[in-house]
Amino acid sequence: MTKLIVITGVSRGLGLAMTDKFIELGHTVLGCARSSEAVEKLKQKYSEPHNFTCLDVASDEQVKAWATEILANYSAPDLLINNAAITNHLAPLWNINSEEFSEVIDVNIKGTANVIRHFVPAMIAKKSGIIVNFSSGWGRSTSPQVAPYCASKWAIEGLTRSLAQELPRGMAAVPLNPGIIHTDMLEISFGEHAASYTSVKAWVQKAVPFLLKLKPSDNGVPMTVPG
Catalytic residue positions, numbered: 149
Q: Find the length of the chain.
A: 227
User: How far is 30 from 32, CA to CA, in rounded Å?
Assistant: 7
Q: Give, to the nearest 10 degrees, the angle between helix 111-125 and helix 60-73.
A: 30
Residue 77, phi-psi category: left (phi > 0), alpha (psi -120 to 50), beta (remainder): beta
Q: Which helix (H) or strand (E) holds 63?
A: helix 60-73
Going along 99-216, which residue ranges are E strands?
129-134, 171-177, 181-182, 198-199
Cα–chain center distance at 59: 16
DSSP, collapsed to helix, strand or coil, labels residue 112 as helix
Is 157 within 8 Å of 175 (Cβ atoms)? yes
Q: Which helix (H) or strand (E) holds 176?
A: strand 171-177
